């Protein structure tokens, strides 16, 4: 039997391989960033992780920002699969709104994180591969404001991501439709 050609672009029924890769790598990076952020705020000065974890956290954050811009660019080129026929109009609207919210909150978290480190005019050496110059805005207390935004929006984003994941699992196990399969199956 001839194997199907690898599907790079999305089609009306299915996400292509690149969209799937971008989705699952982003999800992994986001959960890792959340966990490392949660951990590093309580690290003691004497810990050997004290400098290393923030260095990884900032590096992955910057890479994810570039990655997400590319993801949106690819989304325009590859298009999006059509809504699933068995989904109600409300489900389709909820799903599209959730995707929009996830992208918006993700950008807010990534940019506010960058503005926290920027406030002290600190250059981010992304895994020591390349440097990102800081952006200091003409506002007072940049570090505090960016810090508050980063903290609260990160929690909100993780809650939205969990609701989104639960919805996908509900479609898979209870409705037994194609929602999850078209983001996983090659
Ligand atoms: C941090 C975690 C996650 C984020 C930020 C996230 C974000 C997104 C985004 C933005 C899309 C839309 C892709 C596009 O069309 O551009 C999407 C689609 C999708 N995600 Fe996630 N996701 C996450 C985790 C998960 C998990 C854990 C699951 C499964 C358990 C999941 C299942 C899906 C499915 C099935 C779709 C396709 C929905 C459809 O075809 O309408 N996601 N996700």
| Predicted pLDDT of residue 168 | 97
Residue 8: pLDDT band (50, 70, 90) is confident
Spatial separation of the C-alpha atoms in residues 16 and 72, rounded to whole Å: 14
In this structure, the residue with its CA closest to atom 17 of ligand 1 is 99
Residues 20-44: tens digit of each pLDDT: 999 999 999 999 999 999 999 999 9
pTM value is: 0.93
The count of C-alpha atoms lying within 13 angstroms of the C-alpha of 116, restricted to the half-sphere facing its C-beta, is 20
Residue 186: pLDDT band (50, 70, 90) is confident
Q: What is the arithmetic mean of pLDDT over 78-105?
A: 95
Residues 6+ positions from 126 with CB-CB distance below 8 Å: 58, 59, 62, 63, 132
Where do the DSSP E strands lie in the chain? 124-126, 130-132
- The structural architecture, per CATH, of the domain 17-184 is Up-down Bundle (1.20)
| Predicted pLDDT of residue 36 | 98
Say if residue 6's pLDDT is above 60. yes
Domain ranges of the chain: 17-184
Angle at 184 between CA 178 and CA 186, to 5 degrees: 100
Residues 135-167: tens digit of each pLDDT: 999 889 999 999 999 999 999 999 999 999 999
In this structure, the residue with its CA closest to atom 24 of ligand 1 is 27
| Predicted pLDDT of residue 5 | 64
Residues 39-81: tens digit of each pLDDT: 999 999 999 999 999 999 999 999 999 999 999 999 999 999 9
* Cα of 142 from ligand 1 centre, angstroms: 32
CB of 171 closer than 8 Å to CB of 98:
no
Say if residue 11's pLDDT is above 70. yes
Q: Candidates 32, 81, 156, 168: which one to mutate for ligand 1, based on the most atoms within 8 Å of Cβ?
A: 168
Q: Candidates 37, 64, 156, 183: which one to mutate for ligand 1, based on the most atoms within 8 Å of Cβ?
A: 183
Rounded to whole angstroms, the maximal C-alpha distance in the chain is 66
């Amino acid at each position: 039997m001839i194997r199907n050609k690898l599907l790079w672009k999305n089609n009306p029924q299915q996400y292509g391989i690149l969209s799937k890769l971008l989705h699952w790598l982003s999800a992994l990076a986001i959960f890792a960033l959340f966990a490392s952020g949660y951990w590093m705020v309580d690290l003691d000065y004497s810990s050997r992780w004290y400098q290393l974890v923030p260095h990884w956290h900032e590096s992955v954050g910057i890479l994810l920002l570039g990655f997400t811009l590319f993801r949106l660019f690819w989304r325009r080129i590859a298009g999006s699969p059509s809504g699933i026929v068995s989904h109600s109009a409300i489900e389709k609207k909820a799903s599209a709104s959730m995707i929009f919210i996830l992208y918006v909150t993700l950008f807010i978290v990534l940019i506010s994180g960058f503005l926290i480190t920027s406030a002290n005019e600190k250059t981010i050496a992304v895994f020591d591969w390349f440097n990102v110059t800081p952006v200091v805005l003409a506002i007072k207390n940049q570090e505090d404001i960016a810090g508050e935004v980063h903290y609260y929006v990160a929690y909100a984003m993780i809650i939205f991501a969990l609701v989104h994941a639960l919805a996908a699992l509900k479609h898979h196990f209870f409705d037994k439709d194609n929602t999850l399969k078209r983001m996983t199956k090659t």
